[in-house]
Chain A
């Protein structure tokens, strides 16, 4: 199972400005970010021979061939896992470059989540949401904020997790966003402001929810031995895995609402990497909602189930703390490009390009994906070749 350990590297990263309001198309944003990632890697656009665009999204492989002049694309794939897609795509890309199917795989997202179709409209079009559309939308459950709220409420009832704990995630993430600069939310947020924000779907208030924003992001995955000859320092993928929960298309029918696919992905990825949560210098945790971060930290083994609330308090997850998380501002404060910005930020941290948000001596970190009713993915990445 450890055959993929260190075989692939993230060789290029690129992102557009994150905004609310754009006249550009989702495809244009996706291509703009892709060209930046290609430049960051120091390769020619025509060197791309694998393409994994976010789906359902803006561009498909045909668009990349047409726009980038790719002569011989050897892999076109979709990973329909919602917010778990981007990190799961690292696994597919790693397999492709490790086996020689591809030289450089481009993973990309382009999104007009603010200026285009909004979340409740978009999700009804996902084939994975067919059951939710038939059985849950008619009773008034459309959006992830509603569908995931019941699990958060249950965690609060069973373990005493509080609104104060949820606020800590929002406030810490905002502090990090302000250091980054390329963010939608650039004003400080207090615990009081969090508590005063309007209720969306109890227990989620406005500031517990990720942003609807416009932007594009892209990363390039290259075989580690090839990546060492490229422009930027090597950041290798030590371990990567995806996982799918029971009752994957309906949270309602899942025996344990709090069992995410990450349970399975984490066990696999840590085994492949040969490291554990205690070894991490930094963590980028998929933050569609504040609570989702707390529960994923439990699943990853940073603390036990039920202890996630107290665990994140007292500065532990802020810069300078024991486990800095979402050092870019995440989906809550930077922008919503389905977590590809989390992969980009982990790469920056491990290159030492974190700027004002740089975690000192960051050598090992992880990034999670979560979505599509509970699919999960985890990548563990390291500075340098494995």
Chain B
């Protein structure tokens, strides 16, 4: 029997197949990409204006703004994910967003441990509009999303729960 793909591989495959197209056009995908001291298991770059063909291309060129966007995933593995680590990750991505002039970014953290209540509280109360935040436990299939539009789109458009192998989303808003 073929082995189940790792959640991060399944998530990337969905993005390569254009799962993010309703919200942005992610066109380049790096794995194990190191920026400073942080290694991102997945780093995807793109823009808000999608390429398309004829009518959709014309529509996007005339209507949509052409902002740079990015998606960052960190695989925390078996290590415990604490508030301090999470804050560090958020700071790193916020700094990269400023340096790269990103309009918005997604930050998704995968962990093989249960998500601590303090993390749930931090993420679900996070509401800065330029960073969508999500923490996913790959063992208990729990997803916590930040309380902003970009954060909610991680489930609505990017379908993170499908990458975890869930039929129905077990997200905690």
A, B co-complexed: no
Please list the residues of chain A having a beta carbon within 8 angstroms of any beta carbon in chain B.
none
